[in-house]
């Protein structure tokens, strides 16, 4: 058994990590950190945990790091890097779910997040945790930077096309939509029921922070710098995400060629499902699971393909992928603790 502490355990991402790790056969939660809720039971914040034996929420200063093997950090950007740097040498593995170690360029981090990255040396040490792309580098990794939910959903949909040079890198358009839990549990007028129900809107248009993360990964896959057109939307549902990508095929590549490439690439992936031709994936069918479903459609414009991918933003887009990554750092089966049936309806 490995002993785990979850930092930022009181947010939605932290709660999803607690839910999944509680059923993991090789991880034992010995600490839950939530500095604004210290001294209270987890059940008092999340009543769905009424029958789970969990530690009382504590402050980070009260954690005895001598017994901790792994940290799952669900802290917001900025806070994560400072905490991780202070305990880096005290634990074997750090799985960070924030944005603090995803981008390799500290200047880009400062531009996007509005503050200086104070520990740039750790950027060189981190492994980007898009599992299906970076699986080989995860074994024994000390610091894993889990991708954002939008990049996970978008990049998994594009991965085989990028790896096989099957699309024009100058023509990638991503239209993505997320449920409201992606914005976190914090109180905000813009997230009131009356503000988001019965509607859908785009936000951070042409300047969302996840676009450069997507571009950085595409460059790592293809060896070429690119610019993608990425537009996120908020839709009135609790959890789930869909990314619809419009891509132009490379010269000589047909839709059926691309479909075969996807079938071959994903046939052995435990958490990626390529839908049968003509079937469009639905976010309700992956709710609460670590599954990504993908579909390819031939566009009415000759030479263009529409790629649709869906994930649960809190699971495959966050805590589930984090556990999948940790499993691989330990040399365990990456499916450990993650085989569950999606919730429906």
Domain 2-125 carries which CATH code? 3.40.50.720
| 171-210 confidence digits (pLDDT tens) | 999 999 999 876 665 656 666 677 778 889 899 999 999 9
Which of 149, 153, 200, 292 does the annotation list as catalytic? 149
* Mean pLDDT value across the chain: 94
Q: What is the pLDDT of residue 341?
A: 87
Distance of CA 284 to the CA centre of its chain: 18
As a whole number, mean pLDDT of residues 72-101 equals 95
| 106-147 confidence digits (pLDDT tens) | 999 999 999 999 999 999 999 999 999 999 999 999 999 999
Domain boundaries, the chain: 2-125, 150-313
CA distance 212 to 227: 8
* pTM of the predicted protein model: 0.95
Is there a catalytic annotation at residue 292? Answer: no
As a whole number, mean pLDDT of residues 64-72 equals 96
β-sheet bridge partners, residue 72: 6, 95
Q: What is the pLDDT of residue 180?
A: 82
Choosing among 3.30.360.10, 3.10.129.10, 3.40.50.300, 3.30.365.10, the CATH entry for 150-313 is 3.30.360.10
Cα-based distances in Å from 250 to 84, 219, 224, 297, 314: 43, 17, 15, 16, 34
CA distance 59 to 200: 38
| 221-279 confidence digits (pLDDT tens) | 999 999 999 999 999 888 999 999 999 999 999 999 999 999 999 999 999 999 999 99
As a whole number, mean pLDDT of residues 91-97 equals 98
Question: What confidence category does residue 149 fall into, taking pLDDT thresholds of 50, 70 and 90?
Answer: very high
**pLDDT: is 154 or 183 the higher one?**
154
Residue with tokens 């809720």: 37
């Amino acid at each position: 058994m490995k002993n785990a502490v979850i930092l930022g355990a009181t947010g939605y991402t932290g709660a999803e990590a607690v839910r999944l790790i509680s059923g993991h056969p090789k991880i034992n939660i010995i600490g839950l950190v939530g500095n604004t809720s210290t001294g209270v039971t987890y059940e008092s914040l999340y009543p769905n945990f009424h029958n789970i034996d969990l530690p009382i929420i504590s402050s980070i200063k009260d954690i005895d790091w001598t017994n901790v093997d792994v940290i799952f950090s669900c802290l917001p950007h900025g806070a994560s890097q400072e905490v991780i740097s202070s305990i880096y040498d005290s634990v074997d593995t750090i799985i960070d779910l924030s944005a603090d170690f995803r981008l390799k360029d500290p200047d880009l981090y400062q531009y996007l997040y509005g503050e200086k990255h104070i520990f740039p040396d750790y950027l060189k040490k981190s492994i980007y945790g898009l599992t299906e792309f970076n699986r080989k580098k995860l074994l024994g990794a000390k610091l894993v930077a889990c991708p954002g939910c939008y990049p996970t959903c978008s990049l998994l949909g594009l991965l085989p096309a990028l790896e096989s040079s099957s699309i024009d890198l100058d023509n990638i358009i991503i239209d993505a939509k997320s449920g409201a839990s992606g914005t976190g549990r914090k109180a905000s007028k813009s997230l009131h029921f009356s503000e988001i129900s019965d509607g859908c809107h785009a936000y951070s248009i042409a300047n969302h922070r996840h676009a450069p993360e997507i571009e950085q990964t595409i460059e790592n896959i293809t060896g070429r710098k690119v610019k993608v057109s990425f537009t996120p939307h908020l839709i009135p549902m609790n959890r789930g995400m869909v990314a619809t990508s419009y891509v132009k095929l490379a010269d000589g590549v047909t839709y059926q060629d691309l479909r075969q490439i996807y079938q071959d690439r994903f046939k052995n992936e435990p958490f990626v499902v390529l839908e049968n031709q003509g079937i469009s994936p639905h976010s309700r069918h992956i709710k609460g699971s670590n599954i990504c479903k993908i579909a390819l459609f031939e566009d009415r414009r000759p030479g263009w393909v529409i790629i649709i991918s869906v994930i649960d933003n809190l699971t495959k887009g966050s805590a589930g992928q984090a556990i999948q990554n940790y499993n691989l750092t330990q040399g365990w089966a990456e499916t450990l603790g993650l085989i569950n049936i999606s919730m429906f309806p």
